[in-house]
């Protein structure tokens, strides 16, 4: 192999994965690997990141399909070193597997593919923790179903950070972004009592949804309650409860849980929501818990973002979760 | 009456007031009624909402005239059910009366019309609580004058949430948006000692205005003081004081009381202001008080808004106030 | 019926359809009627406007679903009187039928509904010219199929103003917005030789699509050719040719035919395109031709618009077409 | 006088009027003088520029009040040398008189002041050509009335470049921005037959306005007619006609005459309008005509501008007019 | 001196420094003086404000060069009276010296000029406190070097509010905005142990920078630590420590210390940062300390701002600091 | 080599260079190759594309440094097939060499690197035509100097499409973006009489620059002259003239030659400029000429772009030029 004859040039191929020799000042895009055809040593991979660019299943018009690439673009400005915790994420081996291919008009087919990716990941490298970048919230139902297909014997619980219950009527909407939790309950993939939803608030859930939640024994903590008790206490308590009930806890972060003043980019952004500071604390705690074995980040429309604040927050959510993971 | 021959169409007339059969999942625009020529049973109406699209009386250029329609548009994304409080606003009968017609160049004439609307509302349905969507703050002087004309015997007090005193010199500015409180005091519509202003801060009021406030005995709590004492304590105390002094408390919310980072859409947005969380708490407490009999929301320019965050906050202010009202 | 007690108010219901007594200065939203349950005298209706808010079938992410309401909102600033031609559109009876209801995740079902609306319109009031406001270009295939179902004996031709052939591979994309013309040809709804496409340009069509077009005998005129010959000459010639071959000419206007400097709001906006001036001339000529019996306007994403320039242009396209219709 | 001790600093006072020694590369803000209390030699002033920041008299909400300062800001990027014509505007002595002070709520009073400024200008320095930067179109009626008050014996004609007739009903709107020409005619300040309006187009004027125009003998050329005949021919012909009838021609440029794709910043921007290239040619020709003795530029809202394109075009209009003036 | 003949006009020269007779309602631009050639009585000047419009030395593309003028523009909406503290800044004599002239391509030359301005200021009026408006953070190194050149005998310490250490490798980047503190340490202008950095957070500093900080004894408090201890306590403690070690404390505020949700306009805006409320408190405390003798505000790109929220916050930082100064 | 185990995923590495098997529908990013360490067969490369992300040398603040990546991003939406000409660019072998590495503060060093890249390209593969994506106009001087260094015997001429002469004073500005042509002339790299500038217009060049141009015999055609004569005629004539005088013609396209209404993204966008349609024609003609052996596209700031219209136009310029190249 001969040298590239232009020492003064940065090649285009280096833009996404500019691996430098200097270990110091490692940026996130230099740390997260991408893979070629050569099958890697899957067993050594800690974290597998997956893009799920589906937002046609959203009730309101959404470009959340553009979120995976938006996150990849802005994570180039993050280092791997967490100064607050003195932890370097570079100790983890992380790969970016790429994006689930989308069918232009057959949403059911795409949903099927999403489910199969999760099943395949569990088969190929069961010790790897998957992190999915949505896409809208409909993908959570597919990913959890894929997990259960790979682990039919397991009991799975959900820690959900969300403005909404996502318990709307399946017969009306189908597997859209308003129904994933109900979908999982009605399909007996999970049980209602194994769901903890934190962050619900305001005037954004119909009374019938609360009634349904009560009926199936779903646990929820409104934003006002969470702020009064303290986010750490609420999350710790939810994890402790789930831990006693289930084999695997799946963390799903609907970015619309954030207050609209801190996240204008959620398709259904609302006042009265969570602050990023609280969200980062919540996901770091979830990351620390050994039973949290998969996560997703959904419902973020980069076209509505202002100065990348929401996409950067989504990356910070992922990295805060992984900081927790390092502390396990 | 025969059926519309297109069962697969949503008609344009349904866009503003899409009344569905399903009581569950009632949205705000489906709950708030609009009226036709048939005189309704006014006595049963709890809340009358009124648009006052006047902002030509603003010191700085403002499109607050577009706020009433902006609020009507975004409230379609709010449910009537308040999950935090377990209260459904649908128990109230609310109507949207429409907008005060605007003269293109004769502001004094429009001011007169605004005043007369309030007088007429008190006459036609005295048990209905009026909620006015401004427009700029000049309308408050007109609405309170209209109230006093209908109730000449009453003593009226003001609970004002505002960055500014609104006590500027009438002889210089006339009844503009910098003078409504002084206008009310100088016209002897109210007394200075019956005004409580909460949320003043920073470098946005001249010293002479503070001197005038002290002179007329006006009560005020700066933002720093309010945050130190707690918003609930400050508001409760102001209401208690006013309650002992006046027959009617009028609540006026100048949306520029909010911090510029949470409300970029106020014509005079400032750093150092209130957070939405604090504002929602303040107005809900005011809504609970039986002597608060009218309210307005002013000085919000939707053209400066970012992702509808400020207009959604204004709707949340109105709904939080009505949540308090339900708790009376 | 008693009078509304507030003479100084404009009621909210007047916002979309503010019918005034003064015939002079009639605005478009005051002219286009909306219908209630009472079946109108359909035979007297000249123009039926239909919203088709579907853009989930788009290859690129698109909020063209919001275009029908965006057009309804901006047409309030248009008068019915065309000063250039001295023609008042108010001589036509036009109704806005509303929007085809959308299924959140079943695009095939929505497509079926679109097709059925057209068939129903032909049955209920066959003398009315339908104008569809998309939505994306996939709807054209559905609307023309609906027409043919109502008129199985007719030969239908297409006058297409478009940057693209829309002849992409159905087996890859399905009935998406890149395939409607191929869909119509392969389903034998129309013949390739009965299509005239005007405005193709630049680097936005693969060579294989041109080869397919040549194979099926489709007629096309590139933007450069059209500008050289003159838009009027090209359109007149295409209409004359089609007129000799088919019973009905369907006009489809893909707004991405416009140059990106005049329409930033097309999901696939391109340099090198048509100017609005040329487009208005083309559609007015089409409106004059007696065999043009239906039209649609598609692929406009109001979220990408700048100062409403593209949505206003879309309304101008519709009104220019109707000006031509008045001249028949 | 001692020297400023910081040779490496540009002082703030130099920002608006950075007079350099080097005559070469003179920028417009270095050429246009501002005045202090010392009365200058008014007789030597060729051009007096005046800001009229009034837009409360607009039918639609407008921040055209911010246009004078916006023009002052962007003209700093223009040189005085016109390369196309080989003419240097620096040969003219031009002053910027400042802005008419605005009353916050008394529009009639402000209108009166605008009129008086023009009368005063004619008295103090009758050989100076006034250029007014609006503000909205209502100011034209005031400026022309002020002119006539100074010159009661003169016959004044109007060359109007506009999308609209501005002949709406005074009894309904008062002296707003939709009525200035009718105001001048009904007040007998000018005669209808002494008005030439060029650039009317599309669906933006009611038929009754055209009827009124015909009744009073007003001359108008639609945009389509003007483009067909050529802008130069149409303007030259209008000037020639007016020249034979009146003593003074007043040029009023409503920036909404421009096509919305070239000027998104007009409060009532429309498709189908004039191109900047045509407008620059028109005003340069007007500038050449010795009877054109005053001009204004109105109805430009800088808050709606995109990349300063409209404000820069407004400055180019002024400079093109002055280029014509140099050629007299 | 005769009067200006147009009493109804505001002259352009009044736009930046509109001095009114009425002392009441003094705005910041009316209070801060600008200077002419006449050497003022420098000894009486308390505060000298200096623009340093250099951002070519930024690692990421930045228009922080436009910040000085942006601050000058928005401070016109601030009064001099601080209502929270009951302090009127007008008691201070403040001047705006202007901007350091920039060389288009020779950054080293511009850096030299910045350093010399500080040295000159110390010589001409040593009792005046300089406030520099950047520009990017590279200027801090130059200003402190200029200070040391004027006061070679002094020990200088730094109170830095920043997301970053600014300790990156000089041999790689040169005196860019990522290296000023290292520059000062390596040039022995200051000592590492005389630096207190408050506000560092998240994933925005490489581990090697923390190691270097530890090596040179630099003090730092992360954002999480600062919030836990309370901003007032942390700042007070840092000032107390520095006060015992150094003669002069230089305060440098990198506006990117703010959370991205409150400041989208920093070239490197990040989640997890400081709130404006905390920043205002910190700088006011610094202003109170008698050893704080100079300050700068850097790294704010007005082109990325939203509704001027960041630029207004920067002005509020300056005024809060001066409020503290008044309390000395 | 084993297969990637996820057939349903698109890998991140495919995002920039998604090479598909299907030759039909080849997109530009799939056609332009990027290179690894393996030295390719340079002799077979027709076109080498080079990013030059330097804009610190701009007089006004500019993010033109982001243009190379912006062009790479949007060219993914262009096919290789030019429908207007029936030419497929895929017949050319094109590579993207990457970006010239930038020094953060040493502009002179970066300039040197730019020059050396060109010299190296001429040495490594002299039959390849270089296309440089700026960056600002200062790079043209460096690239042409690099060319002359490789070919000291050659006479080089310039075909410049520009709003400005770029002949400003080197002693004042240095090798900034206002001086490249003067730089080349004064350094005797080229002769003034071998420059043809087309597109100059309006008030954006000082008279002294025109005088200098005349003095050195530089040829120029203003925009008005070019439009009158026809762009094709003007360009053809300039190429013919140069062809008789020089060995190599270098084409430089300053994107600010475009009218501001079609290109809001030039740092110095102006009214009165060229239309994209004219620019595409001009560069295609230049591409056809065998003596045009290198080109650049400069002065485009993607942060100021609207809907990517300017960046897409820049890509269209490059592809139009290459279309001409195919026709040689």
Query: Considering the domain D2-11+18-326 in this protein, what is its CATH number?
Result: 3.40.800.10
CB C207 within 8 A of CB F81: yes
Within 10 angstroms of residue C21's Cβ, the number of other Cβ atoms is 4
Q: DSSP string spanning E133-202?
A: EES-THHHHHHHHHHHHH-TT--EEEEEE-SS-----HHHH-SSTT-HHHHHHHTTSS-GGGEEEEEE-T
Which of A74, A78, A83 is the best residue to mutate to test the E interface, defined by the most E CB atoms within 10 Å of its own CB?
A: A83
Within 10 angstroms of residue D5's Cβ, the number of other Cβ atoms is 16
Mode of pairing for the β-strands spanning E81-82 and A292-298: unpaired
Q: What is the mean pLDDT of residues A75-90?
A: 96
Question: Which residues in chain A (219-248) have CB-CB distances under 8 A to chain B?
Answer: 222-224
- Hey, CA dihedral for D126, D131, D134, D136, is it positive or negative? positive
Convert the pLDDT of each residue in E92-148 to its tens digit.
999 999 999 999 999 999 999 999 999 999 998 999 999 999 999 999 999 999 999
Given an 8 Å threshold on Cβ–Cβ distance, is F103 in contact with E174?
yes
Which of C53, C57, C61 is the best residue to mutate to test the A interface, defined by the most A CB atoms within 10 Å of its own CB?
A: C61
- The H helix count followed by the E strand count for chain E is 11, 12
Separation of alpha carbons F184 and F177, rounded Å: 12
The beta-strand segments (E) located in C77-175 are 81-82, 87-88, 94-100, 129-134, 156-161
Complex confidence, ipTM: 0.94
Residue A15 is predicted with a pLDDT of 44
Convert the pLDDT of each residue in D49-79 to its tens digit.
999 999 999 999 999 999 999 999 999 999 9
Q: Is A263 helix (H, G, I), strand (E, B) or coil?
A: coil
Convert the pLDDT of each residue in B278-297 to its tens digit.
999 999 999 999 999 999 99
HSE-CB for E145 with a 13 A CA cutoff: 21
Query: Taking 90 as the threshold, does the pLDDT of residue D119 lie above it?
Result: yes
Query: Taking 90 as the threshold, does the pLDDT of residue E35 lie above it?
Result: no
For E215-251, b/e burial (b = at least 16 CB within 10 A) is ebebbbbbbbebbeeebeebbbebbeebeeebebbbb
Given an 8 Å threshold on Cβ–Cβ distance, is E105 in contact with F55?
no
Residue B11 is predicted with a pLDDT of 66
Q: List, in order, residues 6 or more apart from D263 with CB less than 8 Å away.
A: D255, D256, D269, D273, D276, D300, D309, D310, D313, F261
Residue D194 is predicted with a pLDDT of 98
Question: Which residues in chain B (106-125) have CB-CB distances under 8 A to chain C?
Answer: 113, 116-117, 120, 124
Residues of chain C in contact with residue A174, where contact means CB-CB under 8 angstroms, are 103-106
Reading the block at residue F271, the tokens are 């009214």
Query: Taking 70 as the threshold, does the pLDDT of residue E233 lie above it?
Result: yes
Considering only CB atoms, D307 lies closest to which of F208, F224, F264, namely F264
Separation of alpha carbons F174 and F167, rounded Å: 11
Separation of alpha carbons E119 and E151, rounded Å: 9
Q: What are phi and psi of D315, to 5 degrees?
A: -65, -40
C51 DSSP β-pair partners: C99, C133
Residues of chain B in contact with residue C6, where contact means CB-CB under 8 angstroms, are 97-98, 117, 120
Given an 8 Å threshold on Cβ–Cβ distance, is C16 in contact with B13?
yes
pTM beyond cutoff 0.90: yes
Convert the pLDDT of each residue in E156-171 to its tens digit.
999 999 999 999 999 9
What is the pLDDT tens value at each position of chain B, 328 positions in all?
356 677 778 766 544 444 444 445 789 998 998 876 666 677 889 999 999 999 999 999 999 999 999 999 999 999 999 999 999 999 999 999 999 999 999 999 999 999 999 999 999 899 999 999 999 999 999 999 999 999 999 999 999 999 999 999 999 999 999 999 999 999 999 999 999 999 999 999 999 999 999 999 999 999 999 999 999 999 999 999 999 999 999 999 999 999 999 999 999 999 999 999 999 999 999 999 999 999 999 999 999 999 999 999 999 999 999 999 999 9
Query: Taking 60 as the threshold, does the pLDDT of residue C1 lie above it?
Result: no
Closest Cα of chain C to F244: distance in Å? 31
Separation of alpha carbons C281 and C317, rounded Å: 9
Separation of alpha carbons F191 and F247, rounded Å: 13
At F10, the pLDDT band (50, 70, 90 cuts) reads confident
Distance of CA E10 to the CA centre of its chain: 32
Mode of pairing for the β-strands spanning E248-254 and E156-161: parallel
Residue F124 is predicted with a pLDDT of 87
As a whole-number percent, the residues of chain A with pLDDT over 90 amount to 87
Closest CA to F328 of F117, F126, F47: F47
Local structure of residue B97 (DSSP, 8 states):
E
Separation of alpha carbons D302 and D220, rounded Å: 28
Helices (H), chain D: 28-31, 67-74, 107-124, 138-150, 170-173, 180-186, 207-216, 223-229, 231-245, 276-288, 309-326
Residue of B nearest to D67 (CA): B61
Q: Kindly tell me whether chain F and chain C come into contact, counting contact as 3+ Cβ pairs under 8 Å.
A: yes
Question: Which residues in chain F (177-216) have CB-CB distances under 8 A to chain E?
Answer: 178
Closest Cα of chain B to D143: distance in Å? 18
Separation of alpha carbons E88 and E248, rounded Å: 26
Given an 8 Å threshold on Cβ–Cβ distance, is A66 in contact with C66?
no
- Hey, CA dihedral for E300, E306, E312, E316, is it positive or negative? negative
Residues of chain C in contact with residue A58, where contact means CB-CB under 8 angstroms, are 104
Residue E7 is predicted with a pLDDT of 79
Closest CA to F88 of C222, D110, C211, C159: C211
CA distances from D219 to D199, D243, D292 (A): 12, 14, 18
F26 touches chain C (CB under 8 A): yes
A57 touches chain C (CB under 8 A): yes
For C229-261, b/e burial (b = at least 16 CB within 10 A) is eebeebbbebbeebeeebebbbbbbbbbbbbbb
CB C182 within 8 A of CB C196: no
Separation of alpha carbons A111 and A103, rounded Å: 10
Q: Kindly tell me whether chain F and chain B come into contact, counting contact as 3+ Cβ pairs under 8 Å.
A: no
Given an 8 Å threshold on Cβ–Cβ distance, is C304 in contact with F306?
no
Closest Cα of chain A to F39: distance in Å? 6
Considering only CB atoms, E105 lies closest to which of F57, F65, F103, namely F57
Q: At what angle do helices E309-326 and E67-74 cross, to 10 degrees?
A: 70
Residue E4 is predicted with a pLDDT of 67
Separation of alpha carbons E167 and E185, rounded Å: 9
Residue of F nearest to E63 (CA): F61
Residue E217 is predicted with a pLDDT of 98
Separation of alpha carbons D62 and B234, rounded Å: 39
* F71 burial via Cβ count (<10 Å: 0-12, 13-18, 19+): buried
Q: What are phi and psi of B48, to 5 degrees?
A: -115, 120
Closest CA to D74 of D313, D321, D322, D303: D313
Separation of alpha carbons B184 and D287, rounded Å: 53
Residues of chain D in contact with residue B102, where contact means CB-CB under 8 angstroms, are none
Given an 8 Å threshold on Cβ–Cβ distance, is F57 in contact with E106?
no
Sketch the domain layout of chain E as residue ranges.
2-11+18-326
Mode of pairing for the β-strands spanning B219-222 and A87-88: unpaired
Residue C21 is predicted with a pLDDT of 46
Q: Can you tell me which residue has the tokens 């920078």?
A: E209
Query: Taking 50 as the threshold, does the pLDDT of residue C18 lie above it?
Result: no
Closest CA to A312 of A284, A274, A278, A280: A280
Question: Which residues in chain D (251-290) have CB-CB distances under 8 A to chain C?
Answer: 259-261, 264-265, 268-272
Reading the block at residue E185, the tokens are 């340490």
Residue of E nearest to A279 (CA): E272
* F38 burial via Cβ count (<10 Å: 0-12, 13-18, 19+): exposed
CA distances from C50 to B61, B67, C151 (A): 39, 29, 20
At C293, the pLDDT band (50, 70, 90 cuts) reads very high
Closest CA to B224 of B198, B261, B256: B198
Which of E53, E61, E107, E264 is the best residue to mutate to test the F interface, defined by the most F CB atoms within 10 Å of its own CB?
A: E61
How many A×B Cβ pairs under 8 Å? 78
How many A×C Cβ pairs under 8 Å? 54
Within 10 angstroms of residue F171's Cβ, the number of other Cβ atoms is 8
Residues of chain F in contact with residue E138, where contact means CB-CB under 8 angstroms, are 105
The beta-strand segments (E) located in chain B are 9-10, 33-34, 47-52, 81-82, 87-88, 94-100, 129-134, 156-161, 195-200, 219-222, 248-254, 292-298
Convert the pLDDT of each residue in D195-252 to its tens digit.
999 999 999 999 999 999 999 999 999 999 999 999 999 999 999 999 999 999 999 9
Separation of alpha carbons D267 and D255, rounded Å: 10
Given an 8 Å threshold on Cβ–Cβ distance, is C25 in contact with D206?
yes
Separation of alpha carbons F10 and A102, rounded Å: 10
CB A280 within 8 A of CB A316: yes
Within 10 angstroms of residue D177's Cβ, the number of other Cβ atoms is 34
Residues of chain E in contact with residue A28, where contact means CB-CB under 8 angstroms, are 203
Q: List, in order, residues 6 or more apart from F41 with CB less than 8 Å away.
A: none
Closest Cα of chain B to A281: distance in Å? 20
Q: Can you tell me which residue has the tokens 């196309």?
A: D84
């Amino acid at each position: 192999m001969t040298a590239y004859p232009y020492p003064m040039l940065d090649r285009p191929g280096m833009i996404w994965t500019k691996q430098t020799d200097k270990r110091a000042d490692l940026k996130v895009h230099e740390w997260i690997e991408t893979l070629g055809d050569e099958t890697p040593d899957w067993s050594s991979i800690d974290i597998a990141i997956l893009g799920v660019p589906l937002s046609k299943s959203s009730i309101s018009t959404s470009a959340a399909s553009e979120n995976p690439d938006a996150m990849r673009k802005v994570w180039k400005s993050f280092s791997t070193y967490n100064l607050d915790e003195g932890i370097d994420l570079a100790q983890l081996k992380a790969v970016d597997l790429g994006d689930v291919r989308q069918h232009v008009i057959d949403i059911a087919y795409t949903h099927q593919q999403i489910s199969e990716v999760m099943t395949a990941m569990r088969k190929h490298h069961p010790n790897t923790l998957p992190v999915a970048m949505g896409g809208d919230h409909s993908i959570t139902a597919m990913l959890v179903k894929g997990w259960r297909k790979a682990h039919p014997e397991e009991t799975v619980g959900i820690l959900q950070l969300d403005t909404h219950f996502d318990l709307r009527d399946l017969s009306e909407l189908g597997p859209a972004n308003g129904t994933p939790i109900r979908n999982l309950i009605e399909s007996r993939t999970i049980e209602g009592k194994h769901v903890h939803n934190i962050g619900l608030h305001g005037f954004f859930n119909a009374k019938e949804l609360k009634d349904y939640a009560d009926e199936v024994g779903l646990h929820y903590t409104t934003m006002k309650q969470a702020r009064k008790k303290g986010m750490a206490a609420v999350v710790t308590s939810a994890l402790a409860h789930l831990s006693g009930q289930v084999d695997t806890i799946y963390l799903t972060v609907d970015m619309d849980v954030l207050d609209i003043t801190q996240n204008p980019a959620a398709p259904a952004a609302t006042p009265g929501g969570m602050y990023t500071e609280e969200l980062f604390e919540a996901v770091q705690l979830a990351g620390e818990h050994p039973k949290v074995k998969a996560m997703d980040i959904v419902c973020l429309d980069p076209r509505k973002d202002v100065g990348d604040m929401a996409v950067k927050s989504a990356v910070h959510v992922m990295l805060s979760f992984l900081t927790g993971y390092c502390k396990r």
